[in-house]
A = this chain, B = another copy of it.
Amino acid sequence: MGQVRVDLNISLDGYASTTDQTPEDPIGQDWNRLVAAYAATRTMQERVFGQTGKGTTGVDEQYAAAYFEGVGAEIMGAGMFGLHAHPGDPDWQGWWGSNPPFGFPVFVLTHEERPSLEMEGGTTFHFVRTSAEEALERAREAAGDLDVRIGGGVRTVRSYLAAGLVDRLHVGIAPILLGRGENLWAELRELERGYTVTSETAESGTIHVTFSR
* Copies assembled: 2
Identity of the chain B residue whose Cβ is nearest the Cβ of A192 in the assembled complex: B176
Interchain CB contact under 8 A, B185 and A189 = no
Asked if A175 meets B188 with Cβ closer than 8 Å, knowing A12-B209, A14-B14, the reply is no
A205, B201: Cβ atoms closer than 8 Å: no
A168 to chain B minimum Cβ distance, whole angstroms, is 15
In A184-208, which residues have CB < 8 Å from any B CB? Answer: 185, 187-192, 197-201, 205, 207
A84 on the interface (CB 8 Å rule)?
Answer: no
The residue that A192 contacts in the complex, of B14, B177, B190, with Cβ under 8 A, is: B177
| Interface membership of A180, Cβ < 8 A | yes
If the complex has contacts A13-B185, A14-B13, are A192 and B209 also in contact, measured as CB distance less than 8 A? no
The answer to whether B205 touches A207, judged by C-beta atoms less than 8 angstroms apart, is no
Q: For the complex, is A40 an interface residue (Cβ under 8 Å from B)?
A: no
| Contact between chains at A175 and B199 (CB < 8 Å) | yes
Chain B CB within 8 A of A106 CB = no
Check if A178 is an interface residue, CB within 8 A of chain B: yes
Q: Which residues of B contact A209 (CB under 8 A)?
A: 12, 175, 207
- A interface residues, tally (CB under 8 Å): 25
Whether B207 and A199, one on each chain, are in contact in the complex, defined by CB atoms closer than 8 angstroms, is yes
Once the chains are docked, how many angstroms separate the CA of A141 from the CA of B12?
Answer: 34
Q: Are B179 and A192 in contact (CB under 8 A)?
A: no
Q: Report the minimal beta-carbon distance from A189 to chain B, rounded to whole angstroms.
A: 3
21 residue pairs of the A-B complex, CB under 8 angstroms, read A12-B185, A12-B192, A12-B209, A13-B14, A13-B183, A13-B185, A13-B188, A14-B14, A175-B197, A176-B190, A177-B190, A177-B192, A178-B189, A179-B185, A179-B187, A179-B188, A197-B205, A199-B201, A199-B205, A199-B207, A201-B207
**Interface residues in chain A, defined as those with a beta carbon under 8 Å from any beta carbon in chain B:** 12-14, 175-180, 183, 185, 187-192, 197-201, 205, 207, 209
